[in-house]
């Protein structure tokens, strides 16, 4: 069932559980096989969000990603505090072995690109031993400073694998940029950045205890393992994310009780202002109509104040339209949406909403 995403600094975070994520992957693989569509999935943690604040191209990638998973308790907590709760943390390191399990059952072809030669080889051997019927391959790939400047033979080799799911283990933000730059050429139905998931799978990096993950302290455990590589990064993330998240939550809460959106389903799905935020069931009807080939038309003229939950509903409909390759038109931005974008430093998001 489709649900509106949460919004953090203009980045949509999908309201999914691990189980519904696996079902969504199955749906995207099937759709990609049938219609030659490509879908990008990002596992968004605090480091992703902080990088996106300072690197506009990465923010663009995350806003255009087909699915963004909440890979970190601070993301889950911030979304809930802003009034847009998501179901649970969906960690990439937990997702990878479950994709292998589901892949054996569904007959998916999975290819992993990135990581070190030793780790990728050990990970594939481990997954094959657990799932003898799984069709999975791996290639560590060359060192690259710019993911756009990569030898054609490397891309040709990945494409020749004809995988249903491409797992890219280059770390953030390199893996997200790699997928965005080459998705059309590679043509895999599902492409997902998995960071250091293979390292954790084979024990090259240890997982934090479950209680630390639930408490949002996995970063501290990992920084303790690799202080030189991660200590400074996580300190920066904490300095930036904490104050920015607090400000975002204050802005979000001030909007509660503001205007909502009305969804009218006809030849197109028309989105206009409404006195209050509409129920999720009404949003779902609109989203399903768009997914079934109706275009999206948005007119927010005259709205002086917009509840952030309505902004999230709007972002969700635009993403559904893109996923279904349906045209969408933002006829009037409206003062309320423009003010939200300025307050959260996500003005680029409005520009992207007008691009099909």
Burial class (CB in 10 A: 0-12, 13-18, 19+), 112: buried
Structure tokens at 103: 């892949």
Kindly tell me the burial class for residue 188, based on how many C-beta atoms sit within 10 Å of its own C-beta (0-12, 13-18, 19 or more).
Answer: buried
The per-residue pLDDT for 249 is 92
Distance CA 110, CA 107 (A): 9
pLDDT at 66: 93
pLDDT score for 70: 96
Mean pLDDT by runs of 10 across the 356 residues of the chain is 87 96 97 93 94 87 93 94 95 95 98 93 95 95 81 93 96 93 96 93 81 76 73 84 91 86 92 85 92 90 82 89 84 71 63 60
Q: Domains of the chain, with CATH numbers? A: 6-247 (no CATH), 256-353 (3.30.750)
For residues 109 and 135, the answer to whether their CB atoms sit within 8 Å is yes
pLDDT of the residue at 90: 96
pTM equals 0.91
Identify the CA nearest to 115 among candidates 39, 211, 205.
Answer: 205
Tokens of 104: 């054996």
pLDDT for position 224: 72
């Amino acid at each position: 069932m489709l649900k509106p995403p949460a919004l953090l600094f203009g980045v949509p975070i999908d309201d999914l559980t691990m189980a519904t994520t696996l079902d969504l992957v199955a749906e995207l693989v099937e759709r990609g096989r049938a219609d030659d569509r490509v879908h990008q999935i990002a596992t968004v943690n605090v480091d992703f969000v902080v990088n996106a604040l300072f690197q506009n191209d990465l923010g663009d990638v995350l806003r255009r990603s087909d699915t963004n998973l909440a890979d970190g308790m601070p993301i889950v907590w911030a979304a809930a505090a802003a009034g847009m709760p998501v179901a649970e943390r969906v960690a990439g390191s937990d997702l990878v072995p479950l994709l292998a399990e589901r892949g054996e059952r569904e007959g998916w072809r999975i290819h992993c690109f990135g990581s070190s030669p030793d780790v990728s080889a050990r990970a594939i051997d481990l997954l094959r031993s657990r799932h003898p019927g799984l069709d999975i391959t791996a290639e560590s790939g060359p060192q690259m400073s710019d993911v756009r400047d990569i030898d054609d033979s490397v891309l040709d080799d990945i494409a020749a694998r004809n995988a249903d799911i491409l797992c890219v283990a280059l770390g953030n933000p390199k893996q997200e940029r790699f997928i965005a730059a080459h998705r059309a050429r590679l043509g895999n139905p599902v492409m997902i950045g998995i960071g250091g998931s293979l390292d954790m799978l084979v024990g090259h990096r240890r997982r934090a205890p479950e209680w630390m993950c639930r408490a949002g302290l996995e970063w501290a455990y990992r920084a303790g393992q690799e202080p030189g590589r991660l200590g400074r990064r996580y300190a920066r993330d904490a300095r930036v994310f904490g104050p920015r998240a607090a400000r975002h939550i204050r802005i979000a809460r001030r909007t509660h009780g503001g205007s909502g959106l009305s969804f009218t389903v006809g030849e197109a799905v028309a989105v206009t202002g409404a006195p209050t935020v509409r129920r999720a069931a009404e949003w779902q009807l609109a989203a399903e109509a768009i997914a079934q080939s109706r275009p999206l038309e948005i007119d927010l003229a005259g709205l002086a104040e917009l509840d952030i939950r309505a902004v999230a509903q709007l972002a969700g409909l635009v993403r559904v339209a893109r996923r279904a390759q349906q045209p969408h038109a933002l006829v009037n931005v409206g003062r309320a949406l423009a003010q939200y974008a300025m307050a959260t430093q996500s003005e680029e998001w409005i520009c992207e909403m007008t691009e099909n």
